Amino acid sequence: MENKVESGIQLFQRISSRPSIGELHPIIPNHIKDVPTIIEITEDDCEIKRGFIMELLLRSVLPDNYLSGKDCGTIIINTEHHFNLVHFASLLKRIIKGTVKDKSKVNEVLESCLEKLIILNCYNGQQLHMTILNIENILLSNTNIGLILLDSLSAFYWEEKIGSDTNNFVSLQNHCLKLFSSLYTIVKEFNVSFIYGNLFFEDNLAIVKAIKDKKYLENYYKITFYRDKTQLNTKISTVNETKLYTCQASDVFTFVEKM
């Protein structure tokens, strides 16, 4: 095993308390305090997934006195390139305007929220690999970061599959599991939460088995959105149970336009 050398300052920054995203959204069950949350979002409708990720991002960076925001620094690993910063900023500004009493503070609060975002754009599998290796350095220099968001685990699967030889076949699940395992190591080491998009898998046992620590398993949620005729359904799976909800779009999207 390779020895890892770190300074006292690095050790302090690594184990320092970080913002929590507990109770980030009403549809997400109560979680165990002081333990990072891991949320997998799957769907058969990409628009719903993108909207929900945007909703979670808005809630994470807003100050706690603005509609129960989490005031949480967030790293976005942008592989699908659906995240629109201009649209995100306009939604933030609308929320702040509707909440703040002193209108002269709107731009100040908006700037503070946007400063909590670190956006890492990846355009191929190699860039994603190098980005993951660099995340540790980013976390060491910023103890306000409490959330890593990746959309999505499966983005560069076909690139890897085409580039691999026929004797080294890579399945989609194994591809996703390898990426998840790399980021899960960071989640444990730095005590940060992790939200990621994934393709719809009925069986997610491979991911669950990768989370070997019981305390992290208790805070693992798989959220699946799908439409049944005109209804929006939400299935929330945990290690211990699965619950199916039929809900209105307004139950899911408070800040983002209805999907």
pLDDT tens string 189-231: 898 999 998 876 555 556 776 777 777 777 888 888 877 766 7
Q: Is 163 helix (H, G, I), strand (E, B) or coil?
A: helix
pLDDT mean over 28-36 = 68
Among 255, 227, 241, 221, residue whose Cα is nearest residue 28: 221
What confidence tens digit (pLDDT) does each residue in 97-156 have? 888 888 888 999 999 999 999 999 999 989 999 999 999 999 988 989 999 999 888 888
In the chain the first and final C-alpha atoms are separated, in Å, by: 49
Measured distance CA(42)–CA(7) in Å, rounded: 40
* Whole-structure pTM value: 0.85
Angle subtended at Cα 209 by Cα 29 and Cα 200, rounded to the nearest 5 degrees: 65
Among 236, 209, 242, residue whose Cα is nearest residue 221: 236
Considering the domain delimited by 36-200+216-252, tell me its CATH architecture: 3-Layer(aba) Sandwich (3.40)
Q: Is 224 helix (H, G, I), strand (E, B) or coil?
A: strand
What confidence tens digit (pLDDT) does each residue in 49-67 have? 888 888 899 999 999 877 6
Confidence check: pLDDT of 30 > 50: yes
What confidence tens digit (pLDDT) does each residue in 166-192 have? 556 677 778 888 888 889 889 888 989
Q: Is 215 helix (H, G, I), strand (E, B) or coil?
A: helix
Confidence check: pLDDT of 258 > 70: no
